[in-house]
Structure 1
Amino acid sequence: MKNSNRAIHMAREINAPIEAVWKALTEAGELERWFPRRARVKDGKIALSWGSGVDWEMEIEEQQENKYLRLGYNEDHYKMVSNVPRRLAVEFFLEAKEGKTLLRIVHAGFGGESNWDEIYDGVRRGWDTESLSLQHYLEHHAGKDRLVALAQIKTKQSLQEAWNLLTREGITVQGDRYVYTTPLGGRYEGTLVYLNPPQDLCGTLLQLNNAMFRLTAERFTPGADVTIWAWIGAYGVPAEDVKAEEGRWQQQLNELFG
């Protein structure tokens, strides 16, 4: 059997003071600038929401300012895949390094059974991209509010079939630069942040003031439909431009999978 208490380990060096990273992890307004769409920090709890029923509520179990934060939770995840109660927890370790911050993330408590595989892998990949989103925010847009464009749809196609449709017009990568032609012929280009076919494309968007773009195909539980997300987090861009991009993506997803 696999490890009965699997853990995810992630490290990211961020070119920002340790105080800024701490605030980004613990203050609701700062969390909304890189992580969820809505956040609430109150009465020893942190509640995060991405919309469409994707919500986390975690208890602050321990914190040492600018050093360490531990958040614990249970029913949010284990009931998706198991009737056996489990206490999951995510820990953040911060270390100052010559004006930069080394952030380590440890997310533990996942079961070893196969029915945990998809949620474990989704959270692992999620921290890959979310930690990069935090880094991007603090290094390029610190102190600025974020506007989010989010389009999504479910499909019974396999991950590979969905990915083939999403990328049918092509992705080209040269060094750290990418060009992605969207299914309806739009052109995205910028710095490639993360590419993990057939599930993840993450990069910056030059045409939207160095926004962060994520395209994800996800299956949350065994046998579930694949959920496709197109997500843009933009800073200093007119709200109508972000809304228009959201509409274009929803149209593309509806035409491909609706």
Structure 2
Amino acid sequence: MKKETKADRVIDITRSINSPVKAVWKALTEAKELERWFPLKANVTGEEIQLSWGSDVNWHMEIEEVKEEEYLRLGYDESHHRIVSAVPRRLAVEFFLHGKDDVTTLRIVHKGFGGEESWDEMYDGVRRGWGTESLSLKHYLEHHAGKDRIVALASIQTDGVSYQELWDKLIGGHLRINGNHYAWDTPVDETYEGRLMFYNEPQDLLGTMQDFHNSLFRLSIERFAPGGDIYIWAWIGAYGVPEKEMKELEKQWQEKLNLLYHVQH
């Protein structure tokens, strides 16, 4: 039996989505649909998919193979491997779809990661990222299909501290988890609670906001390059909420993050 090495690392995630395969396919391949669950901005041409989350966080992927409503393969440009290594590698993500009775099984396979230690954080970040984003896709299609998403996004850049220290300052002892339900007394003086979808202390929290239009809240603590600064992102993705209300939420979160982590503007 072949012994698995770091160079063999593959991210492999399967989700069952209560939505027809046609709708799941559109959510993966159309710019407007992508923006309803994944990036802040998307652009799709016949050859490339471009995704952006702002703050210079951009993905450029070439469309390498398409089998309508069954299979999609996207290859990453060199900017991805150059973040962590001068040795060229071709990263790729594949989507396999199988639909039956208006339920779609979606399998996401992301591969091509290097085995060197410099790849560890990128691999872990992408693994956690697909874990949460695939749930965001499922939530969108099962509860808000066809509706535009409005995002409140607050973020800060920190240095010189650990993930755990950043997490403890933000979460403290204010998070209560009971099975798949969470309640968090947030720094913005509101209690968020709902279904806990993804939890990975000290870096990730994803859950519904049951009393706020069944929106999604996501907390992510990330480092995008070896030895780089750590970023904290607090997201609320909502459907059917006025943009003005979301901008106010974004402002509240940004002010609170700046205060907690002593960021001056």
TM-score interval, normalised by the smaller of the two chains:
over 0.9
Which range is displaced more, 68-77 or 30-39?
68-77
Aligned to 1:96: 99
Is it true that 1:65 corresponds to 2:46 in the alignment?
no
Contact 1:16/1:99 (<8 A) preserved: yes
Which range is displaced more, 49-58 or 72-81?
72-81
Distance 1:75 1:10 in 2: 24
How far does the alpha carbon of each residue in 1:85-136 deviate from its partner, in whole angstroms, 9 at most, with x for none?
1111000000113320000000000001000000000000000000000000
Amino acid at match of 2:214: N
Unaligned runs of 5+ in 2: none
Aligned to 2:127: 124
5 Å matches for 1:1-258?
2-156=5-159, 157-257=161-261, 258=263
3-state SS of paired residue (1:51): coil
Contact 2:171/2:186 (<8 A) preserved: yes
Distance 1:169 1:176 in 2: 18
Distance 1:57 1:194 in 2: 26
Amino acid at match of 1:211: S
Which range is displaced more, 126-135 or 5-14?
5-14
Tell me the number of residue pairs that the alignment of Structure 1 and Structure 2 aligns.
Answer: 258
Amino acid at match of 2:78: E
- Return the TM-score normalized by structure 2: 0.95
Contact 1:2/1:113 (<8 A) preserved: no
3-state SS of paired residue (2:211): helix
- Give the root-mean-square deviation of aligned CA atoms: 1.2
- Return the TM-score normalized by structure 1: 0.97
Contact 1:74/1:86 (<8 A) preserved: no
Distance 1:256 1:111 in 2: 36
Unaligned runs of 5+ in 1: none
Distance 2:5 2:223 in 1: 20
Contact 1:169/1:181 (<8 A) preserved: no
Amino acid at match of 2:141: L
Offset, 1:6? 2.1
Which range is displaced more, 202-211 or 108-117?
202-211
How far does the alpha carbon of each residue in 1:144-165 deviate from its partner, in whole angstroms, 9 at most, with x for none?
0000111000112210000000
